[in-house]
Structure 1
Amino acid sequence: MNAQPHVVIEESPHTGGRQSAGARRATAEFLLQHCPWADPDAVLLVVSELVSNAIRHTAGWWRLHLTAGADTLVVGIEDSSPLPPVARLPSLTGGGGFGWHMVQRLAGTVEVRPQPYGKRVQATWVRPAAASC
């Protein structure tokens, strides 16, 4: 049996920006309860970017998973697209291209795992040694 705290949020792709706001709100609450050691700004930026990418680049659903272990935080976004995120050259004229680079820098590790129904993008943070209880 898995004793780790775990939250799953499923949203319809038809509500636009409210999806991202709901994911950020749920993540902030989860961090307060289960990962007070995590940098909330970094985690919330990663969640926002991953949800925004799923909304923009997926024709179907997406699902957010938040899992806290004793010394880890895992944020996973599953969606219906099999295509992995692609790093683009950032544009200073409003063309984007910053998000995937930001995700990779803010998270400890980032993995993209193919799934039978699409993919899972997973960002993991490890509790800093100074924050251990």
Structure 2
Amino acid sequence: MVPHMLILDRPVPRTGLPTTTARGATDDFLHHAAQVRAPARPEYADAVLLVVTELVTNALRHTDGPAALHLELHDDHIEIRVTDTSPKPAERRLPQTNGSGGYGWHLIDRLTNHTHTEPTPAGGKTICAHAPW
């Protein structure tokens, strides 16, 4: 399957458009991948959508530049890669009940088989997550 890439611009403050766009593109990708691989969406499609939402939200909330989403189907997993402009590694925080977050990395860890971070040549980072197909 040909990898799918989507470039996300910085959001207008307090809008969900970049994450909505990322979720829509991911849903389209999953639908197309299912047509190639099997007649139905993967069992973990909703988990993949949640992981994409969390990674894109974090990239746009905690960096100064645009983010890129790259999805690729492998034999037994979907590789989700989100690249941003910050070299600072993602931080796991204690979840907060006051609405300030802290749940994202815990969700990503539970919904994926493997995650790692790679530096980019431009000085940013790419967070890679492998979700089961």
The 1:79–1:42 alpha-carbon spacing in structure 2 relative to 1, beyond 3 Å, is: same
Residue of structure 2 equivalent to 1:113: 118
Residue of structure 2 equivalent to 1:62: 67
- In the alignment, structure 1 residue 94 sits paired with structure 2 residue 99: yes
Question: Which stretches in structure 1 are left out of the alignment for 5+ residues?
Answer: 128-133
- In the alignment, structure 1 residue 122 sits paired with structure 2 residue 128: yes
Residue of structure 2 equivalent to 1:17: 16
Q: TM-score, normalised by structure 2?
A: 0.86
Identity in percent: 38
Task: Single out whichever of 85-94 and 28-37 deviates more from structure 2.
Answer: 28-37
- In the alignment, structure 1 residue 72 sits paired with structure 2 residue 71: no
Q: TM-score, normalised by structure 1?
A: 0.86
Runs ≥4 residues deviating over 6 A: none
Residue identity opposite 1:52 in structure 2: T
**Contact preservation (8 Å) 1:62, 1:77:** yes
Query: How much has 1:71 moved relative to structure 2?
Result: 2.4
Distance 2:110 2:87 in 1: 23
Query: How much has 1:125 moved relative to structure 2?
Result: 2.3
Query: How much has 1:14 moved relative to structure 2?
Result: 3.5
Residue of structure 1 equivalent to 2:47: 42
Question: Which stretches in structure 2 are left out of the alignment for 5+ residues?
Answer: 35-40
Query: How much has 1:79 moved relative to structure 2?
Result: 0.6
Question: RMSD in angstroms over aligned alpha carbons?
Answer: 1.4
**Contact preservation (8 Å) 1:5, 1:69:** no
**Contact preservation (8 Å) 1:5, 1:34:** no
Residue of structure 1 equivalent to 2:32: 33
- SS at structure 1 position matched to 2:4: strand
Residue identity opposite 1:54 in structure 2: A
Query: How much has 1:38 moved relative to structure 2?
Result: 4.4
The 1:92–1:14 alpha-carbon spacing in structure 2 relative to 1, beyond 3 Å, is: closer
The number of residue pairs the alignment matches comes to 124
- In the alignment, structure 1 residue 7 sits paired with structure 2 residue 13: no
- SS at structure 2 position matched to 1:86: coil
Query: How much has 1:96 moved relative to structure 2?
Result: 1.0
Residue of structure 2 equivalent to 1:130: none
